[in-house]
Amino acid sequence: MATIGEIARQLGVSVSTVSAVVNRRGYVSPAMRARVEQALQDAQYRPNDMARGLRLGQSHTIGLVVPDLTNSFFARLMHGAEDYLASLDYRLLIADSREEWDRQREYLISFAGRKTDGILLVPCRSTDGQIATIPQLIGNTPLVYVDRSPSKSDIDSVLADNVGAGYAATDHLLELGHRRIAILSEPLDLLNGTDRLEGYKKALRARRVALDRKLIRFGSDTEDSGYWGGLDLFKRPAPPTAVVVCNNLMTLGLLSALRDAKLECPRDVSVIGFDDFEWCPHLSPPLSMVRVPAAELGASAAKALMKRLRGANSESAESILLPAELILRKSTASPRQRG
């Protein structure tokens, strides 16, 4: 493959002229630019992105760390970020923390050390002390939290309106006549869990329904926790007639618990889950879900990070909330009257 110097000699121009065309910097007349671009194309020239990044102080790469790439929600989030960044000629490096702090910590250090221009992070489940060390791990590398965020942070974040989503799901069940509504909550170490639980409580207060803390269970974003949490609820002397499940994998576990408890949905128990799966409309019954806009979260977080890189953001951290949508299908109905 030809070098810039060889192409410059071939055209009888300076190296700086060819370099200006390659790096899209400085003025080159339209006629000369066309000649250089044609020569570059004929020579199948490919720029050395790493060397160019070192010269310009940019790598044109962004790191993304997610907790579970096998979960289609995070795959859609990744696609949203990747598509937006590709439109700006940026590449996305992807890492899967598998909900493990040590893995996440090493990825953050690696991305910062490799001089990625910025990092998008869906935080894994962590202690307050661990979360507090994140700014130290990344140094001066810009960071945006996406989908999940610590409750107190001075870092930009792009999140769904989880309070509104929890409220909408619970209020729909209350409107149908349910009063014993359980919630399978995510852990409360990050805003997802606290906000969805707050939306649930807010809806109960608005309808003047007393909060029964025995109907609140906490899961760990896994099928197993949804299964065992569901069985525990269904074994109660006064089991719930409806359940809000705050995570897609826990929703799968709850459906298995319904089957093993020999309960039917929605005849015996109405169910609303979170993080809509592609196959939810094809279940029996089709599952009502809160659709969190995963791809839009990824794209909006990438956009916020680019604004920070370009110095367009304010000094203080910004928090962007995207609306979630309640998708009603066939897994909710009025509570069955018992004799």
Mind giving me the DSSP string for 154-213? SSEEEEE-HHHHHHHHHHHHHHTT---EEEEEPPTTSHHHHHHHHHHHHHHHHTT----G
Say if residue 39 is in the same domain as residue 64.
no
Its domain, for residue 21, covers 4-47
Say if residue 211 is in the same domain as residue 242.
yes
Say if residue 108 is in the same domain as residue 72.
yes
The β-bridge relationship of strands 143-146 and 156-160 is parallel
Average pLDDT over residues 40-48: 74
DSSP 71-98: SHHHHHHHHHHHHHHHTTT-EEEEEE-T
Tell me if 299 is assigned to some domain: yes
| Greater model confidence, 104 or 28 | 104
| Greater model confidence, 33 or 199 | 199
- pLDDT for 58 beyond 90: no
Tell me if 87 is assigned to some domain: yes
CATH of the domain at 119: 3.40.50.2300
For the chain, where are the alpha helices, taking DSSP H only?
Answer: 4-11, 15-23, 30-42, 49-56, 72-86, 101-113, 128-132, 134-138, 162-175, 191-206, 223-234, 248-260, 294-309
Tell me if 333 is assigned to some domain: no
Residue 115, token pair as written in the block: 């001089």
Tell me if 196 is assigned to some domain: yes
Say if residue 178 is in the same domain as residue 216.
yes
Tell me if 328 is assigned to some domain: no
Tell me, what's the pLDDT at 278?
A: 82
Could you tell me the sign of the dihedral formed by the alpha carbons of 20, 21, 25, 27, in that order? positive
Q: How confident is the model at residue 25 (pLDDT cuts 50, 70, 90)?
A: low
Q: How confident is the model at residue 234 (pLDDT cuts 50, 70, 90)?
A: very high
- pLDDT for 50 beyond 50: no
- pLDDT for 293 beyond 50: yes
Tell me, what's the pLDDT at 314?
A: 63
Distance separating alpha carbons of residues 182 and 240, to the nearest angstrom: 6
Say if residue 195 is in the same domain as residue 271.
yes
Say if residue 103 is in the same domain as residue 80.
yes
Lowest model confidence (mean pLDDT) among 1-10, 113-122, 149-158, 226-235:
1-10
Lowest model confidence (mean pLDDT) among 33-47, 119-133, 155-169, 241-255:
33-47
Looking up tokens 């795959």, which residue turns up? 75
Q: Mean pLDDT over all residues of the chain?
A: 90
Q: How confident is the model at residue 54 (pLDDT cuts 50, 70, 90)?
A: very low
What domain count does the chain have? 3
Q: Is the peptide bond before 266 cis (omega within 30 degrees of 0)?
A: yes
Say if residue 301 is in the same domain as residue 287.
no
| Greater model confidence, 37 or 320 | 320
Tell me if 195 is assigned to some domain: yes
Say if residue 62 is in the same domain as residue 28.
no
Tell me if 336 is assigned to some domain: no
Say if residue 227 is in the same domain as residue 281.
yes
